[in-house]
Structure 1
């Protein structure tokens, strides 16, 4: 024992135990004072053996978990309501969804049809294998029958009863049997002899005659070769039995064998991408359509957005194809809730899902229509009424598939008027040409000029519709002045849906001569036209400030972002801060996931969608059906009806007055101007000169100038005809300059 400077004192005790070491020479401790026994109020006596007074740490946190809060778990009704929020579904998904049930039934039928055809083509090989094993089968059958006839199964028992013979010389030449049972041996041998005799007789008088009879009848009925063939097959089946026998039927071993999703795989994969800590599962892993669904609560401090960002790393950690791993957040729960869906089969190698409207069906643009499919294979619907749409992605990302689905859907609504400007010039949208009021395909200057003219025409149509809607009685516009379905059916109002598609719109917006004006008009249309039934759709492969005007990217309401290469392009299409919020189109591989992107209907309604792929041949058939619907409804118009589309006249009455104004005249009388306008543009002003009274003609022109802010007044022009109502050139010029 090393003494450092202290003093070792024996711990006070009242009883010296047997384990105490008497060899230690320690000073005796002072005896403890006697402990008083004090009875509590409940009558129980407590003896304090040892105690220590501990001062509370000065920095100890205050207790904040009050019993009232800890014990508050809600009433019985509140607990049941909370249960129903996350309660499991009563009916399985494949029974609730008709499409899922149909797909499952179709798949089962296809699977067994394939298996049947696969083995049917190999049946000759299977027959040869069976026949090659018939000699062994015959040997097995004959051997088994002989063993039965000779009662071979009783021989071990007879040998056991006979025991072991031992010859011992006892002086008299006697032989003794050791470990034998003579009585049991005699009984077994007698039974064995009777069985063998009976079975031999049965074979001679019944089995052999029966076999001969069956053989003779079979030969006489079907022929000797069929008898030999059937016998060889039967013996082949017998010869193919056994654990070491090779299978007769060819088996296909799939390299893509399904590996079920389990919790250990998810936890390990999350740890591999840097999510450390305790991971819990909100619900058991379950089958969800053609895949598995797991709802995971990430460790404290981690957001589901991180997993979305590292989707490729997660798939690598799970050792699964990228196209089978689809993580997403659950905003209805909390930001740390991850919903992981893993496909059973690689969608890139699965059979293409057909667009629901491919063979039959009609569309109402005021309702939702099928656009594509989510990763689970469920139909994704789109409603573009009172909305506009922007589609963007790198070349080859699948923009044409998305535009084709929307264009065909609009064509299948006989009321909808379709304007299509395909600015790539490839003719990909030609299947809807025969349904379009206007259709242009090309990227030259003339095509850009026609696209600009279309925007001018759309703005003019918007103003006309705005005026019509403004004059409607309140009972026809109960929820605001906009276009309603019942208004679109009245052909006199001309408020039917108008869908204008500008594919590869950057070609127009980047044009040196027409780009700026097109951007200005498109910005005004995006803000206002949707309320009047005008739906605009723009696509671009270069989402930047020059090729995509800010007025469009900031005000469009429905967005579809396919594969992009950076944050700026992502937010130009989906909206500001969407990349930061975890909605990132950079996660898609255009080579493997063409047509797949983020479909954003609002800042909080985003889902991954794959646009329905429609081949050109299929699109042509749908286009023919759509034209037939329009012919039956009598709604063919424009180019589809064989009409020539003239350039949109965007001039105003001020421009017309400037065209007929006498050079150098400071003012002119209105009745003279009406006569000049009727001569210049008889289709527009010819009816005005039918008024006999000059004052009435002047009133018509005055009313036409009021919306433009040009005032008329009583003027005396000595060179003309004295005093009459007129207008000054100075007033017209000021308004025209302000408009320009």
Structure 2
């Protein structure tokens, strides 16, 4: 058994200068057989992580695994200028800080130098008198050993003689040499010698805890970590037992300093039967055992074993510092087929999110950065001129207004505007997107295999205008508002559920944000709200009010896996837990893009779209409110996917229910006449064994193609 340090506080290092944490791999079996009391395993730390230790190696900078020769902050004139400016600012601050305090420093130096004269004299006298031998002579006297006492006495007399000779020589040198040097030496030599002498005497005179020069900046203090403390933490968390066979914690690697110098990391082997999930659930107890904040403890899965993981303990809270401005401020074109930069994880690694093929849910309490996080992804999509954007904000906040520069369709709030009723715009936009998705699947299935492998959208198809299938992204902020609007919410809810399930595979993605992930609507609308919320593949939860709400945002089971966004501090703005984007579930500090940044990026995005000829819809000044209904498109939109056709009575009923503003009084005869006017045949369509007149889906699609071609 590995012995514990009986006084763990001895491992507590409050000095700012010591940044080395240490440990060695502990062989538990060997330690059991060679146990010594009052020991622990604190040794010199490897300055760099051991190569070959896969679990604790830093992730590669790029695919080659090579670190850059020139650091990023010194590459390029812009970075060099910024780094030099930071250095100059810091140096100027420190100089000003010390200049203001220089008179006080001088006064303290003179005072402590006078104290230093007496302390130096006292040291010299104690050195001459050999005061340290007094204890030995007293011990000989107490032991009634006169021979030893006489031997020590003779030794001390001899030592005092030659030490006294040295002190006399020292005094004569100062008494004779001092005036000579003062008379012959240049003034600058005298000044330098005097300054050095005063500084030396002040150093001797001041107490150890009284600094003369106060630091302008203060380094943080951190907890010193060693294997004894780690073992104590894991055993206290119930992840093993030090006295039971096969229940000891083992180390799978040497503890090493993180390459960034911000913490320590080590590979932990749990006892057989304990899992990575057990460690994640016990993260709070482990932090308590280490006597650090929970936000400083991070546990990463090891792919080689489910009982092994990497423990990383940060020197200080890594989430308290922002990730900085978004790299999108370069205003360069982006590619939606590449992941969007989202922020930095707890260890400073870049985190990116795939917008294509995914539906992303963002949830949080108000004013925790939810809208900023969603808008960050929207700005990335806006800079790809071939992406068609739909921006719908149920809250009507100013954050999204500038997206009118690039969005094909947009609606803000719920109050009536010059563009019309926002709720109607939302409904119309969702209907159009549904019809587009259905049409995409139909056309993709008919494209040649060499053009469309496996019937899926490709980058070439999405960017070729002849196919009319650009990548589309829909951004819904405060989407809960659209589920609580009365009758119109029924169709909106139905459309959203259909689209979040079906649309991503057709190249139509959703990014949806809410501050109320439950308790919206009633009856069928409430069920559809839950279905819509639960059909997002990627979840990002900023701070929430409870673990139950956190589980609603991140998905069922997140809390049992140790992920709880309610533990994030209120001061963490733009910090959340990202689940489902990769094999890991990192805590992400999102990049910042404020209102001015967003406007700059969107102006650049509009120019890119104008140059590419892809500006459409509201951004291009088009009036999307249709005075005359597109009958063929409306009929096609009410025929569900997988149906080969529909009877005229069905079509009339569906149009009246879903588009009451235009088809409230429609009849089977009237809709039949309008559709047949486009060359669509009226044929028998069977429903529940009964055949009635109606229209075939293929005939309607053919009529739409003929009309578009004309």
Give me the TM-score of the superposition, normalised by structure 2.
0.65
Give the equivalent residue in structure 2 for 1:271: 235
Q: Structure 1, unaligned stretches of length 5 or more?
A: 1-82, 145-154, 157-184, 219-226, 678-684, 686-699, 712-728, 736-740
Deviation at 1:122, TM superposition (A): 1.5
Check conservation: 1:392, 1:560, Cα contact below 8 A.
Answer: yes
Check conservation: 1:583, 1:598, Cα contact below 8 A.
Answer: no
Give the equivalent residue in structure 1 for 2:273: 301
Q: C-alpha deviations, 1:542-580, integer Å up to 9, x for none?
A: 323727634434543222233445666455444444444
Give the equivalent residue in structure 2 for 1:556: 536
SS in 1 for 2:450: helix
Give the equivalent residue in structure 2 for 1:45: none
Task: Give the whole-Å Cα distance in 1 for the aligned partners of 2:221 and 2:505.
Answer: 52
Q: 1:366 to 1:664 in 2, by over 3 A?
A: closer
Task: Give the whole-Å Cα distance in 2 for the aligned partners of 1:324 and 1:90.
Answer: 18
Task: Give the whole-Å Cα distance in 2 for the aligned partners of 1:610 and 1:316.
Answer: 24
Deviation at 1:500, TM superposition (A): 0.6
Task: Give the whole-Å Cα distance in 2 for the aligned partners of 1:591 and 1:471.
Answer: 53
Within a 5 Å distance, the mapping from 1:59-138 to structure 2 comes to 86=54, 89=57, 96=66, 101-102=71-72, 114=90, 117-126=93-102, 129-130=105-106
Check conservation: 1:279, 1:296, Cα contact below 8 A.
Answer: yes
SS in 1 for 2:334: coil
Within a 5 Å distance, the mapping from 1:355-434 to structure 2 comes to 355-434=326-405
Check conservation: 2:575, 2:589, Cα contact below 8 A.
Answer: yes
Q: 1:468 to 1:138 in 2, by over 3 A?
A: same
Q: C-alpha deviations, 1:570-598, integer Å up to 9, x for none?
A: 55444444444x05335532514443333
Deviation at 1:264, TM superposition (A): 2.3
Q: 1:301 to 1:676 in 2, by over 3 A?
A: closer
Deviation at 1:427, TM superposition (A): 2.1
Give me the TM-score of the superposition, normalised by structure 1.
0.62
Q: C-alpha deviations, 1:527-553, integer Å up to 9, x for none?
A: 322232211222223323727634434
SS in 1 for 2:465: coil
- Is the counterpart of residue 337 in structure 1 residue 308 in structure 2? yes
Q: 301-310 vs 602-611, which deviates more?
A: 602-611
2:619 to 640, 662, 681: 640
- Is the counterpart of residue 521 in structure 1 residue 492 in structure 2? no
Q: C-alpha deviations, 1:158-203, integer Å up to 9, x for none?
A: xxxxxxxxxxxxxxxxxxxxxxxxxxx9xxx9xx99x989x97x99
Check conservation: 1:554, 1:575, Cα contact below 8 A.
Answer: yes
Deviation at 1:734, TM superposition (A): 12
Task: Give the whole-Å Cα distance in 2 for the aligned partners of 1:560 and 1:135.
Answer: 60
Q: 244-253 vs 513-522, which deviates more?
A: 244-253
SS in 2 for 1:439: strand
- Is the counterpart of residue 325 in structure 1 residue 300 in structure 2? no
Task: Give the whole-Å Cα distance in 1 for the aligned partners of 2:368 and 2:527.
Answer: 18
Q: 1:208 to 1:701 in 2, by over 3 A?
A: closer
Q: 1:247 to 1:560 in 2, by over 3 A?
A: closer
Check conservation: 1:323, 1:593, Cα contact below 8 A.
Answer: no
- Is the counterpart of residue 626 in structure 1 residue 589 in structure 2? no
Q: 533-542 vs 301-310, which deviates more?
A: 301-310
1:469 to 444, 457, 471: 444
Q: 1:255 to 1:333 in 2, by over 3 A?
A: same
Task: Give the whole-Å Cα distance in 2 for the aligned partners of 1:386 and 1:674.
Answer: 37
SS in 2 for 1:652: helix
Within a 5 Å distance, the mapping from 1:473-484 to structure 2 comes to 473-478=448-453, 480-484=454-458
Check conservation: 2:550, 2:566, Cα contact below 8 A.
Answer: no
Query: Considering only aligned residues, what root-mean-square deviation do their CA atoms show, in Å?
Result: 5.0
Deviation at 1:113, TM superposition (A): 5.8
Q: Structure 2, unaligned stretches of length 5 or more?
A: 1-50, 121-127, 130-160, 242-247, 520-525, 637-647, 657-661, 698-710
Deviation at 1:420, TM superposition (A): 0.5
SS in 2 for 1:274: coil
Larger radius of gyration: 1
Within a 5 Å distance, the mapping from 1:535-546 to structure 2 comes to 535-544=509-518, 546=526
Deviation at 1:124, TM superposition (A): 5.0
Q: 1:132 to 1:266 in 2, by over 3 A?
A: closer
Task: Give the whole-Å Cα distance in 2 for the aligned partners of 1:99 and 1:357.
Answer: 25
SS in 2 for 1:632: helix
Check conservation: 1:506, 1:547, Cα contact below 8 A.
Answer: no
Q: C-alpha deviations, 1:276-303, integer Å up to 9, x for none?
A: 4121121122233333223222234333
Give the equivalent residue in structure 2 for 1:448: 423
Give the equivalent residue in structure 1 for 2:255: 285
Give the equivalent residue in structure 2 for 1:262: 226
Task: Give the whole-Å Cα distance in 2 for the aligned partners of 1:577 and 1:324.
Answer: 23
Give the equivalent residue in structure 2 for 1:242: 204
Task: Give the whole-Å Cα distance in 1 for the aligned partners of 2:182 and 2:204.
Answer: 28
Q: 1:628 to 1:293 in 2, by over 3 A?
A: farther
Task: Give the whole-Å Cα distance in 2 for the aligned partners of 1:271 and 1:442.
Answer: 54
Task: Give the whole-Å Cα distance in 1 for the aligned partners of 2:539 and 2:675.
Answer: 52
Give the equivalent residue in structure 2 for 1:160: none
Deviation at 1:240, TM superposition (A): 3.4
Give the equivalent residue in structure 2 for 1:510: 484
**Number of positions where the alignment pairs a residue of Structure 1 with one of Structure 2:** 548
- Is the counterpart of residue 613 in structure 1 residue 592 in structure 2? yes
SS in 1 for 2:634: coil
Q: 1:709 to 1:525 in 2, by over 3 A?
A: farther
Give the equivalent residue in structure 2 for 1:148: none
Task: Give the whole-Å Cα distance in 1 for the aligned partners of 2:279 and 2:675.
Answer: 74
Deviation at 1:115, TM superposition (A): 5.7
Q: 1:230 to 1:203 in 2, by over 3 A?
A: closer
SS in 2 for 1:456: helix
Deviation at 1:505, TM superposition (A): 1.3
Deviation at 1:406, TM superposition (A): 0.8
Q: 1:232 to 1:127 in 2, by over 3 A?
A: farther
Check conservation: 1:130, 1:237, Cα contact below 8 A.
Answer: no
Deviation at 1:404, TM superposition (A): 1.3
Within a 5 Å distance, the mapping from 1:7-22 to structure 2 comes to none
